[in-house]
Amino acid sequence: MTHIVAGSFNVSVAVVRVLALVLAFAGVAAAQSEPHAAPVSDVAYVGHESCAMCHKAQFEDWRRSSHARAFELLKPGQRRAPKRKADLDPSRDYTSDQDCLRCHTTGYRLPGGFVSVRETPDRVGIGCEMCHGPGKRYREIHKSRRGSLDRAELIAAGQRYASEDASVCVACHEHEDTPFQPALDHKYEFDLAERLKKTRSFHRSYE
């Protein structure tokens, strides 16, 4: 009786092919938004997709900010005038320059951080975690205690309130190796309070 099934029906082959294709598509769709390159570690970056699931409005604000576009600036032809002033070559591609990537991507060379545009598309640019700290630990608190978050607990888990702490910003803005020194142009001088007032680099607050 079984020989009929085993011998004559290749339906399962056809169906397996369907399944494989469907799963391949599903995998592509999932990979676009769910990179899994992050090494397993308590202190690790998770990428902006994880934050954006809930903080949709903040994510939308950030997406329009210059922080989100920071990686774009490394590409040849972008911001020619400032690059020339800082003695950089405007036609050169700086997207694989390690010194630049440290401040133009999220968590470069750190656990769960930027690897490449293809592998970690949601660690491109200066994402949520560059200001608020690597999210792996505190994201769990966000998920499990929705609506009743304890600030001290979050800080203990590595979350930073960057708008109240300029030291987070100056780590890049006044980095000793950056070619864009205040001596070059006074616009490179960093004053957090002033910046919060007049630029569109930040997302809406929760107040």
Q: Which residues contact 181 (CB under 8 A, 6 or more apart)?
A: 188
Q: Which two tokens stand for residue 23?
A: 């799963």
CB-based burial label for 140 (10 Å; 0-12, 13-18, 19+): exposed
CA distance 128 to 62: 8
Spatial separation of the C-alpha atoms in residues 169 and 164, rounded to whole Å = 10
Comparing CB distances to another protein, the nearer of 78 and 178 is: 78
Residue whose CB is less far from another protein, 177 or 197: 197
Give φ, ψ of 193 to 5 degrees: -60, -45
Q: Is position 14 an interface residue for another protein (rule: CB under 8 A)?
A: yes
124: which strand partners?
A: 105
Q: Is residue 121 a contact partner of residue 35, using CB atoms and an 8 Å limit?
A: yes
**Interface with another protein includes 92 (CB under 8 A)?**
no
User: CB under 8 A: which stretch of 16-24, 100-108, 130-138, 159-167 binds another protein?
Assistant: 16-24
Instruction: With contacts defined by CB under 8 A, name the span among 22-30, 122-130, 170-178, 181-189 that binds another protein.
Output: 22-30
82 belongs to the binding site for another protein (CB under 8 A): yes
Nearest CB to another protein, comparing residues 108 and 122: 122
Distances (CA, A) of 174 to 65, 121, 125, 180, 193: 20, 26, 18, 9, 15
> Residue 180: enclosing H or E segment and its boundaries?
none
Q: For residues 54 and 170, which CB has a smaller minimum distance to another protein in the complex?
A: 54
Q: Which residue has the tokens 């979350």?
A: 159
- The number of residues that bind another protein (CB under 8 A) is 46
Among 4, 152, 183, 193, binds another protein (CB under 8 A): 4
90 binds another protein (CB under 8 A): yes
Site string for another protein, 28-57 (x = CB under 8 A): -xx-xxx-x-------------x--xx-xx
- Both tokens assigned to 196: 């919060």
Tell me which residues touch another protein (CB under 8 A).
1-2, 4-5, 8-12, 14-19, 21-23, 25-26, 29-30, 32-34, 36, 50, 53-54, 56-57, 64, 69, 77-82, 84, 90, 143-144, 146, 200, 204
